[in-house]
Structures are given as C-alpha cells and as structure tokens.
Amino acid sequence: MAIFESRPALIAAMDRLLGEGLGSVLDIGHAALIVRTGGEPPAIINNNVTAREAWVAGAIGGAAMLALGCIQYGALDLPGPQAFLAVALAATAGAAIGVLTGAVVANRVTFGFRDALLQSTAGELKPGQVALLVQVRPGHLPVLRAKLVALQARIGADTRAA
C-alpha cells in the first residue's frame, strides 16, 4: 500500500516507474485505488469481483449456454410458440443454475483485497490524499517499495512480502 499526497503525485510516480522500464515489476494481480476529496467519504475503486457481480455473470453465462444448447438440439424445429417457450425455459433454467454457481464461487473464493483492509486504509487518508493498493509478485516487492519511497510515497503498515 502506497499513500500519495495527491492524484497528480500518483500519476507522476506511475509515469516515472513506467518510464524507467519497470513495467515488469508492475505485474499487478489485484489493485485498488482509494481517493479522499474534501469532506466527502473516500471513493474506493477496486478490481474485486463482488458476490452480486458473480451472480450476474453466472446468470448471463448459464442462460446463454442453456438457450444455445436448446437451439442446438433442435428447439427451433418445434412449431411456433413452442420453439420460443423451449428456448425461454432453457434460458431461465440456465440463469438459475448460473446464479447458484456464481453464489457458491463468490462465497468460497476470495477475490482481491478484504473490505476491512480497504476501509481501514480509507480511514488513514487525509483530504486530497490517494492510496494505491497493489498485489505484486513477492520477488518484485523490494524493488517496488524502494522506488515508491524514492518517489515520496508513504508505504502503509499492511505492506508485506507475502
């Protein structure tokens, strides 16, 4: 976690890192950006997959797969409304299966940063500050940490090698 005094400072630091050819060090697995402006609550931009997103993705994927499978098995050869009804029922069943699958995956697999970490980091920020949280390969952490400190970023307490 690196805290910058302003958004322009973050942008300048990232431009400099990329300009120095450290793109391979910035092999980012997960990232989050937390911005506190004025008296407003901090804005958290996170690349995590939420449970709701998993449900929606599962529903869309399941509906598409079963509807197309139903068409492939000849549902369109049925007379008029029966063809539409067969495809609609298949899409509905697929969406239900997809939602259940998405819910199970979202509850069993952790994606990205814990919400508690994001909220505690947001609480540390002063107005105008920006926090950048990145998950990088452990071997790249010492180099990235040294470069960020050289660019006047404050390294947060939750920065660790694993």
CB 10 within 8 A of CB 107: no
Residue 16 in tokens: 């400099």
Predicted confidence (pLDDT) per residue in 68-105, tens digit: 999 999 999 999 899 999 999 999 999 999 999 988 88
φ/ψ bin of 78: left (φ > 0), alpha (ψ from -120 to 50), beta (otherwise): beta
How does DSSP assign 56-78, residue by residue? HHHHHHHHHHHHHHHHHTTGGGS
Residues 39 and 11 in one domain: yes
The predicted pLDDT at position 158 comes to: 53
The boundaries of the domain holding residue 100 are 51-108
What mean pLDDT, rounded, does the chain reach?
Answer: 84
- Taking only the tens place, the pLDDT of each residue in 53-62 is 888 999 999 9
- Tally of domains in the chain: 2
Same domain, 87 and 131: no
Q: What is the pLDDT of residues 138-148, one digit of tens each?
A: 788 888 888 88
